[in-house]
Amino acid sequence: MPIAKPIEYADASAEVRAVYDDIMKTRGSDWVNNFWKYLAHDPKTLRRTWESVKEVMAPGALDPLVKEMIYVAVSVTNNCEYCIHSHTAGARAKGMTDAMLGELLAVVGMANETNRLANGWQVPVDDAFKVK
Amino acid sequence: MPIAKPIEYADASAEVRAVYDDIMKTRGSDWVNNFWKYLAHDPKTLRRTWESVKEVMAPGALDPLVKEMIYVAVSVTNNCEYCIHSHTAGARAKGMTDAMLGELLAVVGMANETNRLANGWQVPVDDAFKVK
Amino acid sequence: MPIAKPIEYADASAEVRAVYDDIMKTRGSDWVNNFWKYLAHDPKTLRRTWESVKEVMAPGALDPLVKEMIYVAVSVTNNCEYCIHSHTAGARAKGMTDAMLGELLAVVGMANETNRLANGWQVPVDDAFKVK
Amino acid sequence: MPIAKPIEYADASAEVRAVYDDIMKTRGSDWVNNFWKYLAHDPKTLRRTWESVKEVMAPGALDPLVKEMIYVAVSVTNNCEYCIHSHTAGARAKGMTDAMLGELLAVVGMANETNRLANGWQVPVDDAFKVK
Amino acid sequence: MPIAKPIEYADASAEVRAVYDDIMKTRGSDWVNNFWKYLAHDPKTLRRTWESVKEVMAPGALDPLVKEMIYVAVSVTNNCEYCIHSHTAGARAKGMTDAMLGELLAVVGMANETNRLANGWQVPVDDAFKVK
Amino acid sequence: MPIAKPIEYADASAEVRAVYDDIMKTRGSDWVNNFWKYLAHDPKTLRRTWESVKEVMAPGALDPLVKEMIYVAVSVTNNCEYCIHSHTAGARAKGMTDAMLGELLAVVGMANETNRLANGWQVPVDDAFKVK
């Protein structure tokens, strides 16, 4: 359960509404998801986080679907329930199929396992992997 | 520093050599990286982990480069130094450019930030994200 | 959902009641929060944890409000729902305002992000930061 | 060991130098620490991260020393060696004494312990802590 | 809340049913727990994970109860609610008493605390602990 | 590298020496490992942590070897290099064989994998696992 109440559009300051408006416009959507309604308690963080997410998730050297799947991988590793839901929804909207989701989670599981095997044995980095 | 010594090919049992041989054959390589030389202390885990990694990382609904980048994302989130080195090397070998690496790490950083913002406020999952 | 039932005062042993009594007396309160009612299944851990928390959170070189905010920062990073609730309540009771909470979470988010950027690149520690 | 080489001022693009210059000017310093020299491989992330850190760490409802100590608390919980070094140095520069550092780490340790005790028993949040 | 629906026996493919059947037969049970019903969305991962868990958790140099308690320790550290419930149930079925559970959680808590104290001070490994 | 210098016996206060003496006496050893020499910067935390570890790790419902292996499992999951070394040494001293270590790490790896598979699908807890 949340530690505050969400700030709805009707109750938001002009500063907060401007971010909400940009979120809806950018997404071609008529609603704002809960994440932003809680960040709105700290308008600077709301604005900075939205601008940062927009920049980071924009098409670039990686396509937006790959970025969303990386987001899911991190969120699963950290067990962020909200982020798992919002970013699997985002990835599905960008074309992730059920088969892709299944493989994504399989890789996340395997990486978490071998991370601990490598850390458990404290395996030293091979010379071949070192930056010359 | 490691908690054991690596098991080199010359000192390995037939069971362990069989896995080393398959690793080299599968990769078209003439060496085995350290990770497997430590797992070799537990031959069952060596074999099972190698078979699992082969299956999970094979081409499927996701291409192998995307899988390697997801592996890097998890390894960075967990701070597994060995895995960061081995899987960024793996991803580079499959075509990851410097620009792609930069964006990958940017997404990983951003996801780790917003995971904590969502968890900090304990943001409830929107109805729109719930499975019907 | 919990993995056991809470141990209420009426059902507690003398050993457990003594800790509950000290919790209420120390806080000038007439109730004990759930955390201790579950630890009570292991009376030694109940007593040791309560004595430790009392010692660690007492005024010292850091004031109690700063200590509570550090507690929140760790709890958010680890995603401990119970601890996020109990320690934001504790911090509010000691004077944390909404603006302070917003900045606290912003720092926690940013630190989680840059922790992964530093670990991702495996940035070496500058000589200037090393202990002489 | 790092997965890339640092980008020194002499080799940096105008875009990167502009950030380096602002870092030095803002801090009244004549050098840039390694963190930024690796982020420089991704100039957008370099600029965004620097602007974000400046905004988040500025004096506000929380004073900069408290913010630095929160940064240390998160970095210790995540075991980011680089960040532990850079932010304990930052906190010392802002007035953190040895006694304050000792208490900070004691709180971080205790919070990590009780986070697991609460999660282990899956302790339910008390009604008294719920937002009305 | 889950991100997909469980796949019940009646709706499962022959491949998935074969795993469900083996789970029930191996356990001498007439039902399959939810974990497998979600993995079933990715039949390869279902099969591989079941085969791996069977191999890893079988009696060996460690007895199955100790293995279950180690599983609980990891699940508590990572805060996996599902795994905490399923593996404390598994450990109880293999003989874990309430007193053993209490001590197990106490060790998990203490280890999480001292892990951060060691990482916080960045304590160097003693020569006596190094592999010769 | 550490963020402070260790406090050697010759330079320690009477309060710190008393703890060092008890560590050596309890263990029948003539030296103190580094962990305590860094905690000594905060004598209260040194004393409290030592007393707590003694109590938690004492024989009880679980035997000391099982407790050491649980300590290793947590330390590997959190990647605490120091703790991995000190507690695998401790477990070996109490009888952990190479085969037991191999199985311990295999369970830790598997648990970290299935924790993420369960969290990734957000698998709901079965009714059968709920406390009545």
- CA F126 from chain centre, in angstroms, equals 32
pLDDT in tens, E44-72: 999 999 999 999 999 999 999 999 999 99
Name the band, by pLDDT with cuts 50, 70 and 90, for residue A77.
Answer: very high
Name the band, by pLDDT with cuts 50, 70 and 90, for residue D88.
Answer: very high
Q: What is the pLDDT of residue E103?
A: 98
List of chain D residues whose C-beta atoms are within 8 Å of the C-beta of residue B103: 42
Torsional class of F122: left (φ above 0), alpha (ψ -120 to 50), beta (otherwise): left
Q: How many CB atoms lie within 10 A of CB E98?
A: 12
Helices vs strands, H then E, count in chain D: 6, 0
Helix (H) or strand (E) holding A59: none
Torsional class of C95: left (φ above 0), alpha (ψ -120 to 50), beta (otherwise): left
Name the band, by pLDDT with cuts 50, 70 and 90, for residue A42.
Answer: very high
- Are E121 and F43 a contacting pair, CB within 8 Å? no
Q: Cβ of F88 and B45 within 8 Å?
A: no
Share of chain D above pLDDT 90, in %: 98
List of chain B residues whose C-beta atoms are within 8 Å of the C-beta of residue E125: 1
Name the band, by pLDDT with cuts 50, 70 and 90, for residue F88.
Answer: very high
CB of D71 less than 8 A from some CB of C: yes
- Does the pLDDT value for residue A132 go beyond 80? no
The pair of three-digit structure tokens given for residue F132, joined into one six-digit string:
């009545």
pLDDT in tens, D27-64: 999 999 999 999 999 999 999 999 999 999 999 999 99
Cα dihedral sign for F67, F69, F72, F78? negative
pLDDT in tens, E13-44: 999 999 999 999 999 999 999 999 999 999 99
Please give the mean pLDDT across all residues of chain F.
97
CB of C109 less than 8 A from some CB of A: yes
Q: Cβ of A120 and F81 within 8 Å?
A: no
Q: What is the pLDDT of residue D131?
A: 85
Please give the mean pLDDT across all residues of chain C.
97
Helix (H) or strand (E) holding A127: none
Q: Tell me the C-alpha to C-alpha distance, in Å, between residue F125 and each of B41, D122, E72, E81, E94.
A: 36, 12, 15, 8, 20
**Best mutation target, E54, E97, E119, E126, to test chain F (most F CBs within 10 A):** E126
Q: What is the pLDDT of residue F132?
A: 75
CB of F75 less than 8 A from some CB of B: no
Q: Cβ of B41 and F98 within 8 Å?
A: yes
Name the band, by pLDDT with cuts 50, 70 and 90, for residue B132.
Answer: confident
- Does the pLDDT value for residue C127 go beyond 80? yes
Q: Cβ of D103 and C31 within 8 Å?
A: no
Q: Is this structure's pTM higher than 0.90? A: yes
C-alpha to C-alpha distance for B112 and A74, rounded to whole angstroms: 7
Mean pLDDT of B102-106: 98
Q: Tell me the C-alpha to C-alpha distance, in Å, between residue F107 and each of C75, D76, F76, F104.
A: 26, 26, 11, 5
Across the interface, of D85, D98, D106, the residue whose CB is closest to F45 is D106
Q: What is the pLDDT of residue F131?
A: 85
Q: What is the pLDDT of residue B131?
A: 85
List of chain C residues whose C-beta atoms are within 8 Å of the C-beta of residue E101: 41
CB of E109 less than 8 A from some CB of C: yes
**ipTM exceeding the 0.90 mark:** yes
Q: Tell me the C-alpha to C-alpha distance, in Å, between residue B46 and each of B5, B23, B41, B51.
A: 15, 11, 8, 9
List, in sequence order, the alpha helices (H) in F1-130. 14-27, 34-39, 43-57, 64-78, 81-93, 98-121
Q: What is the pLDDT of residue E132?
A: 76
Mean pLDDT of A91-106: 98
Phi/psi at B8 (nearest 5 deg)? Answer: -80, 160
Q: Cβ of F120 and A81 within 8 Å?
A: no
Q: What is the pLDDT of residue C33?
A: 98
Q: Residue F57: which residues within 8 A CB-CB, separation 6 or more?
A: E107, E110, F64, F67, F68, F71
Could you tell me which chains touch chain E, where touching means 3 or more CB pairs under 8 A?
A: A, B, C, D, F
- B-F contacts at Cβ under 8 angstroms: 22
* Cα of B12 to nearest chain C Cα, Å: 33
- Does the pLDDT value for residue F83 go beyond 80? yes
CB of D112 less than 8 A from some CB of C: yes
Q: What is the pLDDT of residue D85?
A: 98
List of chain B residues whose C-beta atoms are within 8 Å of the C-beta of residue D37: none
Q: Tell me the C-alpha to C-alpha distance, in Å, between residue E45 and each of A101, A103, B112, E67, E96.
A: 12, 8, 26, 22, 30
Please give the mean pLDDT across all residues of chain D.
97
Across the interface, of B79, B116, B121, the residue whose CB is closest to C77 is B116
* Cα of A3 to nearest chain D Cα, Å: 6
* Cα of D93 to nearest chain E Cα, Å: 18
**Best mutation target, B72, B74, B75, B76, to test chain C (most C CBs within 10 A):** B76
Q: Please identify which residue in the block is written with the tokens 């039932």.
A: C5
By 3-state DSSP, what share of chain E in percent is helix, strand and coil, each rounded to 5? 70, 0, 30
CB of D100 less than 8 A from some CB of E: no
Q: Cβ of C121 and D3 within 8 Å?
A: yes
pLDDT in tens, E70-123: 999 999 999 999 999 999 999 999 999 999 999 999 999 999 999 999 999 999
Q: What is the pLDDT of residue E92?
A: 97
Across the interface, of B5, B48, B125, the residue whose CB is closest to E52 is B48
Share of chain F above pLDDT 90, in %: 98
Name the band, by pLDDT with cuts 50, 70 and 90, for residue F72.
Answer: very high
